[in-house]
Amino acid sequence: MAQIGVDLGSYVFNAATGTITFVGVSITSIEQIKPIVNGTRQTVIFNPAESGKFGVLSNNVLTLDFNTTSYSNSDKLYICVNNLKKQDFNKDAFGRTRVSEQNPLLDAQFTYGLQPLVFEQIATGTGATVTHDATNRCALMTFASTGANGNAMMQSFNFFRYQAGKSQEIFISFNFIESIAGVRKIAGYSSGLNGIEFNSINGVHSLRILNGGTEGGEEVIQSNWNLNTYNSLDISKTQLMVIDFQALYVGLVRVGFEWKGQIIYVHQFEHANNFAYPYLQSANLPVRCGMIRESGTVSTTMRFICATVSSEGGVLEQAGLNNITPLVGVTASNGARTHVLSVRPRTTFNGITNRTRLYSLSVEVNDTGNSPVEWELCIGQAITGASYSNVNTNHSAFEYSSAGTLSGTPTIQIDGGLVLAAGKSLKGTTTSNTDIRIPITLDAAGNVRANGTLTLVVKGLGGNSACYCNMQWQEIY
């Protein structure tokens, strides 16, 4: 590696193929490139004025006419380029200067496990597994003689809200380890129906936009990336991919990789004034990373290391629509946990798979009896005989049940407290836990799940006690 011009970029020299890949800059015309000298060999290897020393420029890669096969990749090249434009990774997808203040929507690390409350582990087909690599503190996906329906995937339960007019930025670190026939390896901001992904299969790397709408998807293989073909990309090594986009559903999408302390954008998808329909059905999407078997019986592995999603352009909490359950009267049995209310997402909202965000959750417990009441808010509580009704058919994506009895213990209690007797009440708010760390959502397939269901439980202390309770929250859809 060396500098191009004055501190603007760098290059990768491949002597065997006679190519120079320019990194961190955009070169649009071969006429911009001045004669190039191999300082180690004291030889001019590119000069339009000399026969046999010209070349071809394509996607930021210069292929030399001059034979360099006897040279070394580490040779020092002296390069100068006119009218050089540096890739500006200090601008977000809307062209605004990036600042340190961002709104983090996901911080995924796998130090102690696979974060099963935050990520769904999807493993189908013989020999397909998703496990925690305790040595390297990451997720390990494995196919072992895996055939039909093979899938080893990690996908966040949350579909992260895109705010119109703001850039969304996603970083994902992973290692595909290898690229083989019959297995598509994936890292991206994607649900599998809509999304932005880096893919590799049978040695071919590509960037894809998936779109379940009229416009359909887009796929661009590495040799056709329009900013930098990044020939030094080695998928057997760890990679840190960055995606940022201006949605508004007709905007710009950029994908790149971090290398030596800077972001190298390799391709941008341009949609405004090019497409007739939106390039995504929804920009509210999860992070997913894993493998899909497409043909044959296959054995391979890959690692998912870390991910983060941030909203750029200033921190502004969106105002959601307030919703509330009916007030439910119940007798808190002495010393026994009693079901009051459960709330979960509807499977569809207006006929579309429901990926609504619930946040700013609060519970209210009013004790009208003569004994104190202990209350708890939990997820993963089995209930026998529950019967769900829409909170508001037209204006809420959630449903509730006050029927049914508790069975067993919950996955986790996320909040709780004590209400004294004789007309005392308590209103508790549990905003953060029920958003990023404990998302109340459907699973990847769009099914209800126990850990995506909130349950309010009461228990009388020293005697039975009547109480009235409800839950309220904000939702953005």
- Residue 60 confidence (pLDDT): 85
DSSP string, 71-102: S-TT--EE--BSS-EE--TTB-TTSPBP-S--
User: Which is nearest to 444 in space by CA: 210, 194, 156, 162?
Assistant: 156
Task: Give the C-alpha separation, 250 to 212, whole Å.
Answer: 15
28: confidence class by pLDDT, cuts 50, 70, 90: confident
**Is residue 362 a part of any domain in this protein?**
yes
C-alpha dihedral sign at 60, 66, 69, 75: negative
Residues 156 and 264 in one domain: yes
Mean pLDDT, residues 96-116: 78
29: left (phi over 0), alpha (psi -120 to 50) or beta: beta
Q: What is the pLDDT, as a whole number, of residue 156?
A: 97
Say whether both 303 and 333 belong to one domain: no
Mean per-residue pLDDT for 80-87? 64
Q: Looking at 123-132, 292-301, 345-354, 429-438, which range is the least confident one?
A: 429-438
CB 284 within 8 A of CB 349: no
Question: Which domain-ending residue is among 278, 311, 344?
Answer: 311
Domain final residue pick, 86, 111, 133: 86
pTM of the model: 0.81
Tell me, what's the pLDDT at 6?
Answer: 40
Average pLDDT over the chain reads: 90
User: Is 294:150 a contact under the CB 8 Å cutoff?
Assistant: no
β-pair type (19-23, 9-14) = antiparallel
Regarding whether 220 and 143 lie in a shared domain, the answer is: yes
Band of the pLDDT at 231, cuts 50, 70, 90? confident
Give the total number of structural domains in the chain: 3
Q: Rounded CA gap, 406 and 112, in Å?
A: 30
Give the pLDDT band (50/70/90) at residue 171.
very high
Same domain, 472 and 430: yes
What pLDDT does residue 91 have? 59
Say how far apart CA 395 and CA 349 lie, in whole Å: 9
Whether the pLDDT of residue 155 is over 50: the answer is yes
Q: Report if residue 381 sits inside a domain.
A: yes
Q: How far is CA 263 from CA 242, 243, 278, in A?
A: 8, 10, 27
Q: What mean pLDDT do residues 14-34 have? A: 87
Contact 239, 230 (CB under 8 A): no
Q: Which residues are CB-contacts of 429 (< 8 A; sequence separation ≥ 6)?
A: 360, 361, 362
Each residue's pLDDT tens digit, 449-463: 999 999 999 999 999
Return the SS3 of 240.
strand
Whether the predicted pLDDT of 275 surpasses 60? yes
pLDDT at position 100 is 47
Asked whether residue 97 is domain-assigned, the answer is no
* CATH number, residue 113: 2.60.120.200
Residue 247 falls inside a structural domain: yes
pLDDT score of 453:
97
The domain that contains 433 carries what CATH number? 2.60.120.380
Of 243, 238, 263, the C-alpha closest to 254 is: 243
Same-domain check for residues 217 and 295: yes
Mean pLDDT of 417-422: 83
Identify residue 184 by its one-letter amino acid code: R
Whether residue 194 is contained in a domain is answered as: yes
pLDDT score recorded for residue 26: 75
Kindly report, residue by residue over 332-382, the tens digit of the pLDDT: 999 999 999 999 999 999 999 999 999 888 999 999 888 999 999 999 999
Domain with 79, as residue range(s), is 3-86
Per-residue confidence (pLDDT) for residue 312, from 0 to 100: 79
**Band of pLDDT at residue 182, cut at 50, 70 and 90:** very high
Does 344 share its domain with 463?
Answer: yes
If asked whether residues 342 and 248 sit together in one domain, one would say no
What percent of the chain shows pLDDT beyond 70?
Answer: 89
Asked if 109 and 64 sit in the same domain, the reply is no
Answer yes or no: is pLDDT of 428 > 80.
no
Establish if 440 belongs to a structural domain: yes
What average pLDDT does this structure show over 396-402? 97
- Residue 224, classed as helix, strand or coil, is helix
DSSP annotation string for 412-455: EEEEEEEE-TTTEEEEEE-TTIIIIIS-----TTS---GGG-EE
Mean pLDDT within 307-334:
85
Q: Is residue 96 part of a domain?
A: no
Q: Taking the CA atoms of 470, 353, 117 and 286 in sequence, report the sign of the dihedral they define.
A: negative
Cα–Cα distance, 291 to 153 (Å, whole number): 6
Assess whether pLDDT exceeds 50 at residue 433.
Answer: no
Which residue, of 31, 59, 86, is where some domain finishes? 86
Considering the domain architecture, whether residues 63 and 120 belong to the same structural domain is answered as no
User: How far is the C-alpha of 238 from the C-alpha of 309, rounded, in Å?
Assistant: 19
Tell me, what's the pLDDT at 8?
A: 56
Q: Same domain, yes or no, for 340 and 445?
A: yes
* pLDDT at position 112 over 70: yes
49 pLDDT tier (thresholds 50, 70, 90): confident
User: In percent, how much of the chain has pLDDT > 90?
Assistant: 72
Comparing 163 with 303, the larger pLDDT belongs to 303
Give yes or no for residue 383 having a pLDDT over 50: yes
Least confident of 80-84, 131-135, 187-191: 80-84
Do 340 and 422 lie in one domain? The reply is: yes
Flag whether pLDDT at 159 surpasses 70: yes
Residue 432 lies in a domain: yes
* 468 shares its domain with 342: yes
